[in-house]
């Protein structure tokens, strides 16, 4: 995971992108920590992807990573897993996409959490801790 940070904090709507200029809408996020290694895994769930709708991905540049943009700058993470879920009568209707990536460094985790707080606030999401 890499972080491009700017010193000025302009007002920028937090976005998540697989393809340049196509912000995706996050449906859910799950945060996990490996008790043995301390590594953290982020699991994003999307009900659909704008990049797939109408084949828009062919007209935009693919990053090769997932990019999280906000007023602090941009976070780039290479997915460790990308799972497409299909359903419907023919089994070819996209029902969702799950994307996961690991965060190893504490400072990267703190930066990610600041992004997620901004993203959640801008998109009406709430953090819910499992008991």
DSSP letters for 1-47: -EEEE-SS------EEEEETTEEE---EEEEEE-TTT--EEEEEEES
Q: Which class for 103: exposed (0-12), middle (13-18), buried (19 or more C-beta within 10 A)?
A: buried
129 occurs within a structural domain: no
Q: Tell me how far CA of residue 60 lies from CA of 27, 28, 33, 127, in angstroms.
A: 23, 25, 34, 32
Strand, helix or coil for residue 103: strand
CB atoms within 10 A of CB 11: 5
65 occurs within a structural domain: yes
131 occurs within a structural domain: no
128 occurs within a structural domain: no
Q: Which residue has the tokens 């920028």?
A: 12
Count how many domains the chain has.
1
Number of residues in the chain:
131
- Domain extent for 54: 2-123
For 91-131, the pLDDT digits (tens) are: 888 888 999 999 999 999 999 999 999 999 999 988 776 65
70 occurs within a structural domain: yes
Q: What is the mean pLDDT of residues 30-38?
A: 92
40 occurs within a structural domain: yes
Report the predicted TM-score, pTM, of the whole model to 2 decimal places.
Answer: 0.79
130 occurs within a structural domain: no
Better pLDDT: 34 or 60: 34
- Residue 54 contacts residue 44 (beta carbons within 8 Å): no
Six-digit token pair at 35?
A: 């008790």
DSSP assignment letter at 124: T
| pLDDT of 120 | 94
| pLDDT of 85 | 87
CATH code assigned at 8 = 2.40.30.220
84 occurs within a structural domain: yes
Distance CA 85, CA 28 (A): 15
């Amino acid at each position: 995971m890499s972080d491009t940070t700017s010193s000025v904090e302009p007002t920028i709507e937090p976005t998540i992108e697989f393809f340049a200029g196509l912000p995706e809408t996050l449906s859910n996020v799950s945060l996990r920590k490996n008790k043995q290694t301390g590594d953290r895994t982020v699991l994003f769930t999307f009900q659909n992807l704008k990049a797939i709708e109408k084949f828009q991905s062919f007209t935009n540049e693919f990053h090769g990573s997932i990019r999280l943009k906000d007023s602090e700058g941009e976070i780039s993470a290479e997915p460790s897993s990308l799972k497409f879920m299909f359903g419907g009568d023919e089994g070819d209707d996209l029902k969702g996409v799950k994307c996961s990536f690991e965060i190893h460094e504490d400072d990267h985790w703190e930066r990610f959490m600041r992004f997620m707080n901004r993203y959640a606030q801008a998109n009406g999401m709430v953090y819910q801790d499992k008991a």
